[in-house]
């Protein structure tokens, strides 16, 4: 083999099939913080995003799909997008949350019309195919209702042992919920789906409100975002809207928002960002007051073996530094 010239610059992005990159499938309901998570994942040198699947949640599934396609296109990456569930597993979609994410899911910012279409295949089928194609190599990163993943697991229960790990944004272990006093939105929106995953036997890292609420982007960082990047204007408009929504509930923090979904992607990339506690977790699917609660057995002698690594602490500074540098908020 001919020697490489010494002046050759090191490869910034390893080729897509490099074994050094962690294969992931991102599942989203785009959504402002989903948009940030998509950018964080697509701009990573450590992750190989096999595809992005969409679900109802912050917005209906078609809006989530369109937003996702638009964001992927703004990064210039060639990553396929698969439309997924319009409803929860056994419940109708509870409806969007325009007071948090805007009418269009991206804070009413102008979203360019994507030129690409979603792939013809269903999201759950895509997940099954990829897991079977790369047994033991794929990390699933749902940052939305767990509906698409649960449908994949129900469609082919055999994939449970072939998924390397699920790193989910969801749940509230030792802290309050955000939809009800005890339930976090991604679990509350489809508790039956989340239960399928917690009972599946696949290793799970639960990146819940315990840690995501300790991360935060401030308005001054957002204002410093590199104006030359093609997604900067969209991100700034969307996140300003999202910050105003959070300001109503957390006025003391000023212009600020938590980085729920990007943190889950960051943990998939670098598990060392969070301290975890091994626990048994299950999901309440019928309680009047507790629907969607992640029930964590933190007793000294739990009756069931642990099925999840629950994130209980985060190196928020390290994460924020990485997040800001990657998105050009320097
Ligand atoms: O509870 C926060 C989660 O709910 C995030 O994934 C956000 O995007 C919404 O889906
Ligand atoms: Ca989300």
Phi/psi at 7 (nearest 5 deg)? -85, -5
- CATH code of the domain covering residue 26: 3.90.245.10
Between 251 and 2, the more confident residue is: 251
DSSP annotation string for 132-183:
HHSTTTEEEEE-S-SHHHHHHHHH-GGGGGTEEEEEEE---SSS--SSSSSB
The pTM score is: 0.94
Q: What is the pLDDT of residue 18?
A: 54
Tell whether the model's pLDDT for residue 179 goes beyond 60.
yes
Would you say residue 191 lies in a domain?
Answer: yes
CB distance 164 to ligand 1 below 6 Å:
no
If you ran DSSP here, which 8-state letter would residue 252 be given? G
CB distance 49 to ligand 1 below 6 Å:
no
Would you say residue 1 lies in a domain?
Answer: no
Q: From ligand 2's centre to the CA of 303, what distance in Å?
A: 32
Q: How many domains would you assign to the chain?
A: 1
> How close are the terminal C-alpha atoms of the chain, in Å?
41
Name the residue of 186, 207, 208, 311 to mutate for ligand 1: max ligand atoms within 8 A of Cβ: 186
Q: Domain limits at 85?
A: 6-11+18-327
C-alpha span between 295 and 309 (Å, rounded) = 13
Average pLDDT, rounded, for the chain: 94
pLDDT in tens, 28-59: 999 999 999 999 999 999 999 999 999 999 99
CB distance 211 to ligand 1 below 6 Å:
no
If you ran DSSP here, which 8-state letter would residue 271 be given? G
CB distance 294 to ligand 1 below 6 Å:
no
Q: What is the pLDDT of residue 3?
A: 33
Would you say residue 183 lies in a domain?
Answer: yes
Would you say residue 206 lies in a domain?
Answer: yes
Q: From ligand 1's centre to the CA of 185, what distance in Å?
A: 6
Q: Which residues are catalytic?
A: 29, 260
The neighbouring-strand residues paired with 207 are 169
């Amino acid at each position: 083999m001919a020697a490489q010239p010494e002046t050759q610059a090191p490869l910034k992005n390893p080729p897509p099939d490099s074994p050094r990159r962690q294969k992931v499938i991102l599942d989203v309901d785009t959504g402002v913080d989903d948009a940030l998570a998509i950018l964080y994942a697509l701009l990573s040198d450590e992750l190989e995003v096999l595809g992005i699947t969409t679900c109802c949640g912050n917005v209906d599934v078609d809006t989530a799909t369109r937003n996702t396609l638009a964001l992927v296109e703004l990064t210039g990456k060639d990553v396929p997008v698969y439309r997924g569930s319009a409803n929860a597993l056994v419940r109708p979609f509870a409806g969007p949350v325009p007071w948090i994410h805007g009418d269009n899911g991206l804070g009413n910012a102008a979203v360019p019309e994507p030129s690409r279409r979603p792939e013809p295949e269903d999201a759950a089928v895509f997940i099954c195919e990829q897991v079977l194609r790369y047994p033991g190599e794929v990390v699933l990163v749902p940052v939305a209702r767990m509906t698409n993943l649960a449908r994949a697991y129900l469609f082919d229960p055999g994939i449970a042992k072939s998924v390397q790990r699920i790193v989910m944004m969801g749940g509230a272990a030792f802290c309050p919920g955000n939809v009800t006093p005890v339930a976090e939105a991604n679990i509350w929106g489809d508790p039956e789906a989340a239960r399928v995953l917690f009972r599946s036997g696949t290793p799970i890292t639960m990146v819940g409100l315990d840690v995501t609420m300790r991360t935060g982007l401030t308005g001054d960082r957002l204002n410093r975002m590199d104006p030359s990047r093609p997604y900067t204007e969209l991100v700034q408009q969307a996140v300003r809207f999202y910050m105003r929504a959070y300001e109503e509930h957390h006025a003391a923090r000023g212009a600020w928002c938590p980085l729920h979904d990007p943190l889950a992607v960051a943990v998939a990339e670098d598990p060392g960002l969070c301290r975890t506690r091994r626990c048994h977790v299950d999901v309440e699917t019928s309680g009047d007051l507790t629907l969607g609660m992640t029930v964590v057995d933190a007793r000294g002698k739990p009756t069931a073996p642990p099925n999840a690594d629950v994130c209980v602490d985060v190196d928020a500074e390290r994460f924020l530094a990485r997040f800001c540098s990657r998105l050009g908020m320097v």
